[in-house]
Structure 1
Amino acid sequence: MYFKNTVKNKWRSAEFFAGIGLVRAALQEENIETVWANDIEVTKAAIYNANFESGDFILGDIRDVKGSSLPVIDLATASFPCTDLSLAGARAGLGGRESSMFWEFARVLCEMAEHSPQVIMLENVPGFATSHQGKDLADAIKALNRLGYTCDLFLMDARFFVPQSRQRLFIVGTKGRLSQTRSCKNSITRPHWIRHFYELHPELDLQIRALPEPPHQQHYLSSIVERIPHYHSTWWDEVRTQKFIESLSELQNKRLRQLQRCQETQWRTAYRRTRNGKAVWEIRQDEIAGCLRTARGGSSKQALIETSHGKVYVRWLTPREYARLQGVPDTFHIDHVKDSQAYFGFGDAVCLPVIRWIAKHYLLPALAENRIRRLPDGSPRRMWPFFELEDRQRTTEEVKNTLNAAEYTVFNEVLGKSSFSAVLNEKPITSSNMIGLPQSFRKRIIPDELYELRKHPDIRIARRANTIARLAQVISERSVSKGLRHTLVVQAQRLERLAANRLAEFFDEPDDSDLDESND
């Protein structure tokens, strides 16, 4: 098994359209633990299961997934099918049979309600931006906005990390706007057409987080080519090689002859194209591979050309070379599946170092910022340690019952002391028997420097007002429960008290009643 789960007490992620698990592999290297994954392809599941501790992998149709069945997560990723969005495909768009699975992902997020992740990341082909003249992308962003996500768009190319040309459009959505945002200017990660999309759609809730420039190191095919002896049957025989050469146009033949004149061994990739109704081969001029694809995406495998001492050798790229072109180490297990299955898995996959770069420079800062935004003002909080449960699995019925009873007991204790006769909680409290609680202690749960900022009364007022504004927006856009409207009322009452006490300070008439810190 290549990837063992060594992540402890870090961010938790769900991997939709998981494929062979390269998103998981990349996130794990950045201490983000995948706790749930799903894909419908049996072949991909076989590769996934051979490389991960995959008790959390659900093989099946996303249309059968219910939001209530997912565990608590901080992040959700979705590399939903590109077949109907790719320029190489039929361009049916988000209404197509494959790419319409985006709507199923959105449905699951909606069903997760208040437990939906704080950050989401979607990946697809750049053709997503032009599908139906950009309407599909706008509709997708609009749907994510309705779910409470402010979205950012950027482009990444695998060639920044490996010798493969593979551009992909990424959408990152966050609950609430991030800091360190800026206006949209042309860059490698945000070309002019992304800026144009922002300008065309002022009605969408979009943001632009500042990102560093990706690395500019050049990568070459020689770094991924398996050195296979020319007598091996993997290489095409003379007849097939000659047919390959004869299919080349004059320009392509000239390119091949230039390679043959080189004193050192050269490698290039080639791909079949239909020109004037005739299948021909075309050789890439640069020393990288074209975008890896699958037959479902409207393309076929790439061939590798090697020229040495004036001779020409041709063969298909191997599955291991496909893996290397996606930034996957050789310890990744693929020997148990057919070559065609490995081609399918890697052709549909993401480039591992690209995802790792995004995790480091975008996802981790966004997750941290969203967690800080949700933290309280920093006043010491009461905590009840249950050390006796430390060595037990949290999923056992006994532990769940104990924790539910403890939560119910604390809820009733705090409710009885609340000035507003209300306690705001992230989820409904499960009714249970009252129990005796262990000795509690008080501890501040945010850093001292952040507490110094948060404790200022004007900052507390601003944060409370911002919470009310976000809550009111959600209520205005959705059909919500009575409980959420009650939450809005309680939040408004707390804002009124905060503001009144602050005003009293300026008139030297302090309010005798302190703020109810235990319920703020």
Structure 2
Amino acid sequence: MLRASPGTERESAPKCGGNEAKTGQAEELRHMRTFFEFFAGGGMARLGLGPAWRCAFANDVDPAKCAAYRANFGGETLIEADIAALKLEDLPAVRADLAWASFPCQDLSLAGARAGLAGARSGLFFQFWRLIEALSGAGRAPRLIVIENVAGLMTSNGGADFRRVIETVAGGGYVVSAMAIDARWFSPQSRPRLFIFGFAQECAPRRRSAPPLDSFSPAAMRASLGALSSKATRRWRWLAARPTARPNMRLEDLVDINAPDWCAARGAAALSMMSARQRATVEALRASGDRHVGAAFRRIRIENGARVQRIEARFDGLAGCLRTPAGGSSRQMLVKIEDGRVFARLLSPREAARLMGLPEDYRLPEQTTAALKLCGDGVSVPVVRWIGEAILTPLLAQEAQAA
């Protein structure tokens, strides 16, 4: 049996004296919702769910992410191990309200080889589901399941991988749904992600009619759903919840505008690698006399039959989707236009953390690459918060009212 390693608590527990305090704490814990956090990373799902939820179990295999998890939350519930090594006895003997799984995206991402669920990394979804089946067999199936991954899951292998996840969850006795959510609704980062939901019958949504076509239930999703088995189709429900307003926050509000590493030479180099159209955009912004901050990536483009490396920037107030730092081209750049000059530098780990919704006191790994990987692999904290408040909590309350 694998065991959690306590590590060091981020904050010391409040010191309360007497049996009354202990009784009060026990009562508070009794009313908290419990969740299991699979593929936990740095604990972003835990942060998003917030203090009304109690983490009863967490698991990840990455040492740097696990170290960050312990530094921020302690390690009492965290098991650092390959999910394939976990067994039923490693999980708490409780029925969790929620099992959250942000399983690896490398084989599903448009930037990867797209091996899909047959790949060694994204195929770990089935190890997660093995544990859900074990919990179900023990009478402890979680009431709710959330599975998060890149939007590319909807089209992987012509939509077959998406359907396989839906069929798997439905085959486990759950009512199923899905929603595509871009983090830009909550923070200045373009980060589209797919969320697949499983609901125990007692807390399932009731809507069967499809909502109007929108970015939350896009055409790619609907096309795949048309090929579901009759059993999975009967178990499918649509979610009516939608974010109502985008934030007033811009990329410029989250970056360190006076950081010492803004570099005019790097800005000139970036400008020289832009297409003529992009340079014209920068020149127009420069002529305005205002300050503008944009985000940029290196891209390889085919021009006149040759491979050309380009810097492609955006000045719409959003950062591009954070990635893991697998190579130089995956590091996002910042471009600042100020006083008629162009400056550039790399996005810092702390700025990446802000884009993911992590608080300023969140303890990132000290190594830059590890910190950027933690952020690039993570789930947006404010997106999780919205899911918890708009979908999960109301459905659990619906179950409680019916009891």
Fold match (TM-score > 0.5): yes
User: Any stretches of 5+ residues in structure 1 without a counterpart?
Assistant: 376-520
Aligned to 1:271: 297
Say whether the 8 Å CA contact 1:153–1:169 is kept in structure 2: yes
Aligned to 2:49: 27
Q: Give 2:228's match in structure 1, choosing from 186, 201, 210.
A: 201
Say whether the 8 Å CA contact 1:270–1:282 is kept in structure 2: yes
Say whether the 8 Å CA contact 2:185–2:243 is kept in structure 1: no
Give me the whole-angstrom Cα distance separating, in 1, the residues matched to 2:115 and 2:301.
Answer: 24
Letter in 1 for 2:252: S
Q: 1:216 to 1:237 in 2, by over 3 A?
A: closer
Aligned to 2:77: 56
Return the offset for 1:35.
Answer: 1.1
The answer on 1:130 being equivalent to 2:155 is yes
Aligned to 1:347: 376
Aligned to 1:161: 186
Return the offset for 1:212.
Answer: 3.5
Return the offset for 1:257.
Answer: 0.8
Q: 1:190 to 1:4 in 2, by over 3 A?
A: farther
Q: Secondary structure at the match of 1:122?
A: strand
Return the offset for 1:279.
Answer: 1.8
1:142-153 matches, cutoff 5 A? 142-153=167-178
Query: Which digits, 9 at most, give the CA deviation of each residue in 1:313-337, with x for residues without a partner?
Result: 1000111110111111211112x51
Say whether the 8 Å CA contact 1:293–1:300 is kept in structure 2: yes
The answer on 1:120 being equivalent to 2:145 is yes
Give me the whole-angstrom Cα distance separating, in 2, the residues matched to 1:278 and 1:3.
Answer: 54
Q: Secondary structure at the match of 1:184?
A: coil
Aligned to 1:281: 311
Q: 1:304 to 1:12 in 2, by over 3 A?
A: same
Give me the whole-angstrom Cα distance separating, in 1, the residues matched to 2:236 and 2:314.
Answer: 37
The answer on 1:76 being equivalent to 2:99 is yes
Task: Using the aligned pairs only, state the percent identity.
Answer: 35
Letter in 2 for 1:358: I
Say whether the 8 Å CA contact 1:3–1:52 is kept in structure 2: no
Aligned to 1:499: none
1:278-427 matches, cutoff 5 A? 278-296=308-326, 300-334=330-364, 337-371=366-400, 375=403
Give me the whole-angstrom Cα distance separating, in 1, the residues matched to 2:130 and 2:327.
Answer: 25
Determine which structure has more spread, i.e. the larger CA radius of gyration. Answer: 1
Return the offset for 1:340.
Answer: 1.4
Aligned to 2:111: 88
Query: Which digits, 9 at most, give the CA deviation of each residue in 1:339-385, with x for residues without a partner?
Result: 11110100111110110000011111222334555x4xxxxxxxxxx
The answer on 1:256 being equivalent to 2:279 is no
Query: Which digits, 9 at most, give the CA deviation of each residue in 1:255-284, with x for residues without a partner?
Result: 111221122211000101001222211111
Q: 1:15 to 1:194 in 2, by over 3 A?
A: same
Query: Which digits, 9 at most, give the CA deviation of each residue in 1:420-471, with x for residues without a partner?
Result: xxxxxxxxxxxxxxxxxxxxxxxxxxxxxxxxxxxxxxxxxxxxxxxxxxxx
Q: Give 2:255's match in structure 1, choosing from 199, 212, 225.
A: 225
Give me the whole-angstrom Cα distance separating, in 2, the residues matched to 1:295 and 1:61.
Answer: 22
Query: Which digits, 9 at most, give the CA deviation of each residue in 1:178-199, with x for residues without a partner?
Result: 2441411213422233233333
Aligned CA RMSD, in angstroms, stands at: 2.2
Q: Secondary structure at the match of 1:8?
A: helix
Return the offset for 1:223.
Answer: 1.3
Q: Secondary structure at the match of 2:120?
A: coil
Return the offset for 1:287.
Answer: 1.5
Give me the whole-angstrom Cα distance separating, in 2, the residues matched to 1:179 and 1:298.
Answer: 45
Aligned residues: 368
Aligned to 1:17: 39
Aligned to 1:109: 132
Give me the whole-angstrom Cα distance separating, in 1, the residues matched to 2:172 and 2:327.
Answer: 30
